[in-house]
Structure formats: C-alpha cells, structure tokens
Amino acid sequence: MTTIKKARQLLLTGALGCSLFASQASALNIVLTNDDGWETPNITVMAQKLREAGHQVILSAPCTGQSGKGGAMTFLRGVVIDKSKADQDEYCVGDTDTSKAHEDYVEGTPVMAALHGIDVLAQKKWGSLPDLVISGPNEGNNLGYMNNNSGTLGAAMISIIRGVPAIAVSAGRGSTQEGSAQAAIADIVLNLIAKLESRKGYSNKLLPPFMGLNVNIPDNLDDKGYKFTNVGWNPGEANVVFREDLSQDPVAIQYVAGGIAARGVPFEQAKIMALQMLTGQPGLSFDTSGYPLDTHERSEGVALANGYITISTIDAHIQAGIAKKALTRAKLGPLQ
C-alpha cells in the first residue's frame, strides 16, 4: 500500500477515537514556518494544502537550513528579509550572501522567522495575531530530549509564549524527497486542525492559552494510527554524541557521502571522499544503538518506533514538576 493510501486509510478509520474528517471548517489565519528553509518540498506542499482548504496562510521561514538551532536568535542587529514572493504572502528571513564578513552575517533562525510572521506580517495582513502557527513539517522527527535543540520546536515554543496556539510537525527522513509523502503528511495536519476546530467551544480558540502540540509522523504509515504520548526522554533512532575523529564514525561517513553522492558522484567514490574530509575532524554525530534510559511505551520516541503517529502536549516552559520541586527544597533547605 502506498504512503498516501495508508494516510487516507488512517484518517478514514478515526484513529483519534472518531473520524478526523470534520464538517466544513472556518478559515483560519495561519503563520507557517520551519527550520529547514522556505523552499523545501514539505513546507511548499503544506502551504498549498492549507490554502486549498480555505485557510489564509503567511509563510515566514528561514532563508537557509537552520536545523538544530533550537531557540537561537540574534538581538538588535538588522536582518535581511527576502520579499521576492510577497505577492504570495511568502517571505524568508536571514542572510544568504556568504561573501559577507562573519560579523556582518545574520542568520534568520526559526524563532526569528516565526516572530516576523506573528509581529509584522500577521499585523499587516490581518491586524491581529494569527489563529495558529504551524512549524514544519520538519525533515526528520523531533523526539524526546532532542526537542530541546529543535528549531521546529523553538519556533512553536516562542509562538505559544506569545499566546498563539502552535503545532510542531515533524516527519521521517523519507519526507525529504518530493513525492506523495508530502501530501499525505499535509493531509494528516489538515485533519488534526479540522478536529480542533470542531471542538473550539465558547472560547473560539483551537487550544487553551500556552498550549501546543508536538506531532511526529513515521516514514511508514500503517494501520496503527495515532497515540497520545509524553515527550519523554527517548530521542528515537539516534542519540547525539561527540566524536574525537568523525572518520571513525559510520554514521558521519554515510551522511557526508550521501551528500556528495547527491551531486552525481558514485557512492563508493563519495565514501572515499567523505573519509578524507573527516579524517582527524572532531564533531557531533549520532549513536544509533538506542536510548535505554527511557523505554516507556507512551514516550513519543518509543511510540514512533512502533509505527504510531504521536501527539504530545507541550506548554513552552521548562518548570519541573511538584515532586522535583519538593526534592530541591529537601536537599537545599533551609537556606539563610
């Protein structure tokens, strides 16, 4: 069964407890952003599908890939805004001129792009905050503790803090290639929005204040459907590690070789070139042996590995729970 057929099957079988197909929903004012750049297949199809569904969409995303930037931002310095697609309500934030001196180059991070959409573009177009911010769909899942470093989550968190409901959406690595996967992913997001709209109630809000969703979609959509999860600690298929010599790391070799091969170089030759490039170079990579400290079935990293589309609730703060607060007082108090 193809990915898009499986997605349609999921949506029709009511994996959220009832059918996700709501009655004709009202048009929403949506700011769409990401951390992969404004011209990726995922965000392009997402914008198209949202507009086809009748929603008003402003796309405000980084001009360049900003994966892993988390909540990064640059204060009190001018940043370039690309307005070449302003007639389509699409903008990108950040320098692309790599000839600039380092001190003059200002990247447009996901947080900055989201705020540009909320504070500037939404006010100009609608005269108000957007009804919703969608961050993604990301090229790769954001799970467990790795959400702390995710630009996709960073953009969603700043939106929630500003009082705007936000949905962070991340898909598997298979979503990096153009094809039916993007449409299937967008359809899942559209139907989640329709479900939220159908239950807005008297508040007329999609979600309560300071609340958002972290949605992860696996590469292979089967009939397992959705699972409401905790963010947990489990980062899914890979745990981040620092290597003294990246040439000794199979993951790094495969990743760099893949990028070289994408430019038309035979893969075996690309691997040799990657080995030469990485020899003696320290840096971050991924350990794919798993994350044994969190194996709970409700952790999103575990549930996604088991084939579920995961939905975790997020609230944009780092406050620990009551038990850990009490433990802090017990260990440190009384203090004078």
Task: Write out the catalytic residue numbers.
Answer: 170
Question: Any residues with CB less than 8 A from the CB of 59 and at least 6 apart, and which?
Answer: 32, 33, 38, 43, 47, 88, 89, 90, 91, 117
d(CA 18, CA 150): 31
Buried/exposed 217-235: b ≥16 CB within 10 Å, e otherwise: bbeebeeebbbebbbbbbb
